[in-house]
């Protein structure tokens, strides 16, 4: 074990996820914990370092940056992370301030976006290295090298800049949970996450036991890393090498049970990229929750193919144990497009999965994409039609159709470049990605009439399922009739009238 003569400080900054700001009334991500930084903090905490973790989503941005700058005074090193979106730009702006005040402080970055586009990060001149992929063991070795004054070139899993070129150290294999520690939850104040949800109960993840307006406290958690699927639009195949490692079910349940006794949360949002890779583990978790009487509703990321192959008894046990909602990457309604993007979902599995989940009281968010490289209009319309069928047949389902976004580190990104996609040039531009519902990152890929059909579907399906007003009145019944007839004539006019009436009602209330 690494020993430390005196407690050196490590400063970790979790960037804000939204340009709309941090703590209430600003925060839009009330249940999300800074899990990526908790994970890399675990070994340094065990090794005796003083780790300061600042979650930018808990305070207004200037206050978050001020806390980082103050903590960096006399620190050993600073590190940050981020996924595609506002975290990219906020992490950049915070790091610039850190280096302006503490120019000699070693700085590092990791996470999904940095792992996919390390050159963009290194070109800023702000970072000593980019940690690629799974970061727990890499970060431990970074800390050790910095403490000892040793070069980083011998640390596996890094991207470095040497003589103006990006070079890579030895590739690091994905580690199993026998080499990883549980998260150091003591670094967080649970009140920063509980209080916003209890004040604004309709802002967090809702569904199942959490009805509209019902106060609840939900946390995010992860207990597996990677995904074995080769989807061409996803950066996971490149970043994780198709590896999948999961925390043993009993260890995870022990951790959650102990944490719930201390924090008193009602639900867990698992952010594992693919919760359903192994059916025996999903069953063991569900049965373990029931055996322990662990009253904890949970939300997961699941694939339709997993629902199709799971035994009905497994799905029953999951629902009985508190499984109330999930994200299902439905992706496309065309079998040809599914084959092209290498999604292991076939035939009507998306629809059948939605039906199986719906009848067990589980609310699936079914996410579809249109505008893939090379995708024709017929495929896009097939996707819209499948999403419409899901909305009609499954009252608990939330089918959504998003425009395709080229992401660095994916096969489809390279195809998009060849097809004329012009990528953002700066980290600020990459960081401007905010709303997948409306933000079209590759203009011109989707015909105007298809874009209009997508907008109308999104409006009417949200309205029909009560997601706009949490009610079933005149407008909701009319929207369901529109969906059933696939008739969106005068839809834009109706949408304007509806939103106008809503605005007036809000002013009068």
Q: How far is CA 401 from CA 294, 342, 368, in A?
A: 35, 19, 5
5 membership: H or E segment, kind and range: none
Q: Considering the chain, what is the average pLDDT of its residues? A: 91
Phi-psi region of 164 (alpha: psi -120 to 50; beta: other; left: phi over 0): left
Is the residue at 460 inside a domain? Answer: yes
Q: Which of 416, 445, 474 is the last residue of a domain?
A: 445
Q: How far is CA 198 from CA 85, 88, 195, 212, in A?
A: 27, 29, 5, 12
| Residues 328 and 464 occupy one common structural domain | no
Query: What average pLDDT does range 5-13 have in this prediction?
Result: 83
Is the residue at 173 inside a domain? Answer: no
Contact 302, 328 (CB under 8 A): yes
3-class DSSP assignment, residue 265: coil
| Residues 289 and 374 occupy one common structural domain | yes
Is the residue at 504 inside a domain? Answer: yes
Give the pLDDT score at 229: 95
Please tell me the total count of domains within the chain: 3
Which tokens is 471 given? 């009610």
DSSP secondary structure code for residue 382 in this structure: H
> How much is the pTM?
0.92
Q: Is the pLDDT of residue 403 over 50?
A: yes
Percent of the chain with pLDDT over 90: 78
Give the pLDDT score at 204: 39
| Residues 249 and 313 occupy one common structural domain | yes
Separation between Cα atoms, residue 226 and residue 236, nearest integer Å:
7
CA angle 407, 347, 486 (to 5 degrees): 85
Phi-psi region of 472 (alpha: psi -120 to 50; beta: other; left: phi over 0): beta
CATH of the domain at 78: 3.40.50.2300
| Residues 430 and 495 occupy one common structural domain | no
| Residues 156 and 196 occupy one common structural domain | no
Reported confidence tier of residue 434, pLDDT bands at 50, 70, 90: low
Q: Is the pLDDT of residue 17 over 90?
A: no
Give the pLDDT score at 502: 79
Separation between Cα atoms, residue 425 and residue 428, nearest integer Å:
8
| Residues 452 and 424 occupy one common structural domain | no
Which of 133-137, 387-391, 439-443, 470-474 shows the lowest per-residue confidence on average (mean pLDDT)? 470-474
Other beta carbons within 10 angstroms of residue 271's beta carbon come to 19
Backbone φ and ψ of 133, nearest 5° = 70, -140
Q: Long-range contacts: 50-54, Cβ < 8 Å, 24+?
A: 50/7, 50/8, 50/9, 50/10, 51/9, 51/10, 51/12, 51/184, 51/187, 52/9, 52/10, 52/11, 52/12, 53/12, 53/14, 53/187, 53/188, 54/11, 54/12, 54/13, 54/14
Query: What average pLDDT does range 22-34 have in this prediction?
Result: 60
Q: Which of 398, 414, 445 is the last residue of a domain?
A: 445
Which tokens is 237 given? 């195949």
Q: Which of 428, 445, 462 is the last residue of a domain?
A: 445
Separation between Cα atoms, residue 172 and residue 144, nearest integer Å:
17
Is the residue at 182 inside a domain? Answer: no
Q: Is the pLDDT of residue 101 over 80?
A: yes
Longest distance between any two alpha carbons in the chain, whole Å: 73
| Residues 392 and 469 occupy one common structural domain | no
Is the residue at 80 inside a domain? Answer: yes
Give the pLDDT score at 206: 39
Is the residue at 348 inside a domain? Answer: yes
Separation between Cα atoms, residue 163 and residue 140, nearest integer Å:
26
pLDDT, tens digit, 9 for 90 and up, residues 268-292: 999 999 999 999 999 999 999 999 9
Separation between Cα atoms, residue 152 and residue 129, nearest integer Å:
8
Separation between Cα atoms, residue 8 and residue 76, nearest integer Å:
6
Give the pLDDT score at 27: 44
CATH of the domain at 250: 3.80.30.20
| Residues 128 and 234 occupy one common structural domain | no
Is the residue at 175 inside a domain? Answer: no
Q: Is the pLDDT of residue 436 over 90?
A: no
Whether the bond into 25 is cis, omega within 30 of 0 = yes
Q: Is the pLDDT of residue 435 over 90?
A: no
pLDDT, tens digit, 9 for 90 and up, residues 46-59: 999 999 999 999 99
Other beta carbons within 10 angstroms of residue 313's beta carbon come to 10
Separation between Cα atoms, residue 404 and residue 331, nearest integer Å:
10
Reported confidence tier of residue 509, pLDDT bands at 50, 70, 90: low
Q: Is the pLDDT of residue 156 over 60?
A: yes
- The DSSP result for 139-198, as a single string, is HHHHHHHHHHT--GGGSSSEEEEETTEEEE-PPPPPPPTTS-PPP-GGGS-THHHHHHHH
**What number of H helices and E strands is found in the chain?**
20, 15
Which tokens is 507 given? 């002013």
Query: What average pLDDT does range 437-452 have in this prediction?
Result: 88
| Residues 314 and 438 occupy one common structural domain | yes
Which of 1-15, 202-216, 408-422, 477-491 shows the lowest per-residue confidence on average (mean pLDDT)? 202-216
Is the residue at 178 inside a domain? Answer: no
Q: How far is CA 2 from CA 47, 121, 328, in A?
A: 6, 29, 42
Separation between Cα atoms, residue 502 and residue 484, nearest integer Å:
24
| Residues 73 and 39 occupy one common structural domain | yes
| Residues 438 and 461 occupy one common structural domain | no
Q: Is the pLDDT of residue 267 over 90?
A: yes
Give the pLDDT score at 424: 93
Pairwise pLDDT comparison (29 vs 33), residue with the higher score: 33
Separation between Cα atoms, residue 151 and residue 328, nearest integer Å:
44
- The DSSP result for 304-370, as a single string, is HHHHHHS-HHHHHHHHHTTEEEEEEEEE-S-HHHHHHTT-S--TTHHHHHHHHHHHTT-EEEEEEEE
Query: What average pLDDT does range 63-77 have in this prediction?
Result: 97
Which of 18-27, 243-252, 355-364, 390-399 shows the lowest per-residue confidence on average (mean pLDDT)? 18-27
Give the pLDDT score at 155: 98
CA 368 to centroid of chain Cα atoms: 16
Contact 23, 59 (CB under 8 A): yes
Query: What average pLDDT does range 308-330 have in this prediction?
Result: 97
| Residues 71 and 159 occupy one common structural domain | yes
pLDDT, tens digit, 9 for 90 and up, residues 181-220: 999 999 999 999 998 888 765 543 434 565 555 678 999 9
Can you give the residue range of the structural domain that contains 85?
9-168
Reported confidence tier of residue 20, pLDDT bands at 50, 70, 90: low
């Amino acid at each position: 074990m690494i020993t430390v003569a005196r407690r050196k400080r490590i400063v970790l900054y979790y960037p804000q996820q939204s340009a709309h700001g941090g703590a209430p009334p600003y925060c839009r991500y009330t249940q999300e914990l800074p899990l990526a930084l908790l994970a890399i903090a675990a070994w340094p905490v065990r090794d005796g370092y003083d780790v300061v973790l600042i979650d930018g989503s808990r305070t207004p941005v200037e206050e978050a940056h001020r806390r980082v700058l103050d903590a960096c005074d006399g620190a050993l090193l600073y590190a940050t992370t981020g996924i595609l979106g506002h975290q990219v730009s906020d992490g950049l702006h915070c790091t610039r301030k850190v280096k302006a005040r503490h120019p000699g402080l070693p700085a590092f970055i990791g996470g999904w976006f940095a792992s996919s586009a390390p050159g963009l990060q290194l070109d800023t001149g702000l970072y000593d290295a980019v940690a690629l992929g799974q970061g727990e063991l890499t970060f431990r070795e970074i800390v050790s090298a910095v403490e000892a004054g040793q070069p980083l070139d011998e640390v596996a899993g890094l991207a470095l800049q040497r003589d103006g070129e990006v070079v890579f150290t030895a590739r690091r294999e994905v580690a199993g949970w026998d080499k990883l520690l549980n998260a150091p939850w003591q670094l967080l104040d649970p009140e920063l996450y509980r209080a916003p949800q209890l004040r604004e109960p309709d802002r967090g993840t809702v569904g199942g036991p959490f009805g509209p307006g019902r106060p609840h406290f939900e946390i995010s958690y992860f207990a597996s890393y990677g995904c074995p699927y080769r989807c061409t639009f996803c950066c996971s195949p490149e970043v994780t090498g198709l590896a999948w490692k999961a925390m043993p079910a009993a260890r995870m349940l022990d951790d959650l049970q102990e944490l719930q006794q201390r924090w008193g949360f009602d639900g867990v949002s698992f952010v594992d990229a693919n919760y359903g890779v192994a059916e025996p583990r999903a069953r063991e978790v569900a049965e373990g929750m029931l055996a322990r009487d662990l009253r904890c509703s949970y939300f997961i990321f699941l694939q339709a193919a997993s629902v199709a192959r799971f035994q009905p008894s497994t799905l029953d046990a999951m629902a009985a144990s508190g499984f109330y909602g999930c994200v299902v990457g439905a992706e496309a309604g065309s079998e040809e497009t599914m084959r092209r993007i290498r999604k292991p979902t076939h035939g009507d599995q998306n629809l059948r999965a939605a039906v199986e989940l719906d009848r067990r009281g589980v609310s699936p968010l079914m996410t579809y994409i249109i505008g893939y490289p090379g995708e024709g209009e017929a495929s896009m319309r097939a996707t819209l039609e499948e999403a419409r069928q899901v909305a009609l047949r499954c009252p608990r389902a939330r089918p959504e159709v998003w425009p395709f976004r080229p992401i660095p580190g994916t096969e489809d990104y390279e195809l998009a470049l060849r097809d004329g996609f012009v990528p953002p040039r700066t980290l600020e531009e990459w960081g401007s990605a905010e709303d997948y519902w409306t933000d079209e990152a590759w203009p011109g890929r989707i015909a105007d009439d298809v874009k209009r059909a997508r907008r109308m579907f999104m409006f009417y399906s949200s309205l029909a399922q009560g997601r706009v007003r949490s009610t079933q009145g005149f407008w909701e019944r009319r929207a369901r009739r529109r969906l059933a007839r696939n008739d969106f004539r005068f839809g834009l006019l109706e949408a304007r009238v509806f939103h106008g009436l809503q605005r007036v009602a809000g002013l009068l209330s």
